[in-house]
Structure 1
Amino acid sequence: MNKKIILFLMACLLAGCTQTPKSTPSNVSWQTHLQQLNTLDTWSFRGKVAVITPEDRHSLNIYWQQLDDEFHITLTTFIGGTVLELNKTKQFTEIIDSKGKHYYGEDTESLIKDLSGLVIPVQALQQWIKGNPANASYLLNSNNQVLSLSGFDYKNIPWEITYSDYMPTENVYLPKKVGLKQQDIRLKFAISEWEIDPR
């Protein structure tokens, strides 16, 4: 192999290949894009999520499948071990931990907080993760996509969300990198794949 290529690959590895390719600019209006997001209620994505608190940091693989108001989330380690499964139906929320123990509750976010101590805005995230600024103030980028938003979860806790990249999925642009912040809690999503209507 050419020595220059080897040096380039080593430099990439040492630098973490931090350069992020930017998405192709969208040529649709904000009104059209927002309408696409509002009608998109069946989808899934795969990627990674980092949960960062003053005490700890966890990085996990995430799979999220949404069907209208119901959803299924799986968190796994980088070697494939299941850390948590979350199933939300119209009737209740079920969480299965890494030991296979089942927990049930009517309120998804309260159940997560009781088990982990973390406040995660799962209800609002069903829209925010798509780049839909539902019930939030927002700024757009030059491609008519949400650049940042300030919103509240259903318990009136404020969150700041930033979007640093988007990717085309069929006929709609969806986020690739999303960051959430609430006081000293941060969530970072790096989404590798979206699928629309994955039934």
Structure 2
Amino acid sequence: MTILFTVLTGCTTAPAPTTEWQTHRAALSAIDSYTARGKVAFIASDTRFSANLYWHHTPNASTLRLTNFLGTTLLSLTMNAQGATLIDDQGKQYQDPHPARLIAYLTGARLPVDALAPWLIGQPRAQDRFSLGPDNRLAALDDAQGWHIDYQDYSAETQPALPTRITLSNDQQTVKLMISTWTLDND
């Protein structure tokens, strides 16, 4: 019986250790460039789709790329201080000063891309209401535009611990993110 228990314990992923919030928040604030790779699912009453997710953020720009299971790019969005440029799966280019509006127009899916840079790493913005979990990391937050974000899991393999499962929802849609790979590019 002990051997079986040891084997089963060895197969589980260790949870990220508990941290002190102010220390964790300071470590998150020090991250200026990163890449997240994983999967995203959009669920709404009239739209359901999933894709592979690539998100790259630097202090000057962010890039979101969604691909299908074959690796074909469905859309590529680049955002900077001047606005957003989206290239669709046909290679057609669209521009708009508001990246979320651009994605909604072309896909029907609402995604708060303007706020994703801090939210993906588990960092609330100054205007967000948030709560911490028992591990002293972000457990949930709400923003003024009606988004509710739940942080279900964090990686024990990143320093600082970064989210691996996030659900964003509003009254019209749910977006589920599973981050499988984090790369911190800080200089």
Q: Tell me, yes or no, if structure 1 residue 56 matches structure 2 residue 80.
A: no
Distance change >3 Å, CA 62–CA 198, structure 1 → 2? farther
Give yes or no for contact 1:44–1:64 (8 Å, CA) kept in 2.
Answer: yes
Give yes or no for contact 2:40–2:177 (8 Å, CA) kept in 1.
Answer: yes
Aligned to 2:171: 183
Aligned to 1:71: 62
Distance change >3 Å, CA 22–CA 181, structure 1 → 2? farther
Shift of the alpha carbon at 1:69? 4.1
Q: Tell me, yes or no, if structure 1 residue 94 matches structure 2 residue 85.
A: yes
Aligned to 1:142: 134
Q: Tell me, yes or no, if structure 1 residue 164 matches structure 2 residue 156.
A: no
Contiguous gaps of at least 5 residues in structure 1: 1-18
Which 4+ stretches in 1 moved above 4 angstroms?
A: none
Q: Tell me, yes or no, if structure 1 residue 33 matches structure 2 residue 24.
A: yes
Q: 1:80-115, CA deviations, whole angstroms, 9 ceiling, x for partnerless residues?
A: 111000111222311000011111122212222222
- Which of 161, 170, 177 aligns to 1:173? It is 161
Q: Secondary structure at the match of 1:68?
A: coil
Farther off after superposition, 188-197 or 124-133: 124-133
Task: Name the amino acid aligned to 2:96.
Answer: G
Q: 1:2-37, CA deviations, whole angstroms, 9 ceiling, x for partnerless residues?
A: xxxxxxxxxxxxxxxxx98452313x3100111111
Query: Within 2, Cα distance between the matches of 1:125 and 1:55?
Result: 24
Contiguous gaps of at least 5 residues in structure 2: 1-10
Query: Within 1, Cα distance between the matches of 2:157 and 2:13?
Result: 16
Q: Secondary structure at the match of 2:155?
A: strand
Query: Within 2, Cα distance between the matches of 1:20 and 1:54?
Result: 35
| TM-score in terms of structure 1 length | 0.82
CA RMSD of aligned residues (A): 1.9
| TM-score in terms of structure 2 length | 0.87
Give yes or no for contact 1:169–1:195 (8 Å, CA) kept in 2.
Answer: no
Query: Within 2, Cα distance between the matches of 1:30 and 1:97?
Result: 40
Give yes or no for contact 1:130–1:174 (8 Å, CA) kept in 2.
Answer: yes
Aligned to 2:185: 197
Task: Tell me the number of residue pairs that the alignment of Structure 1 and Structure 2 aligns.
Answer: 176
Query: Within 2, Cα distance between the matches of 1:85 and 1:181?
Result: 22
Give yes or no for contact 2:42–2:176 (8 Å, CA) kept in 1.
Answer: yes
Task: Name the amino acid aligned to 1:126.
Answer: A
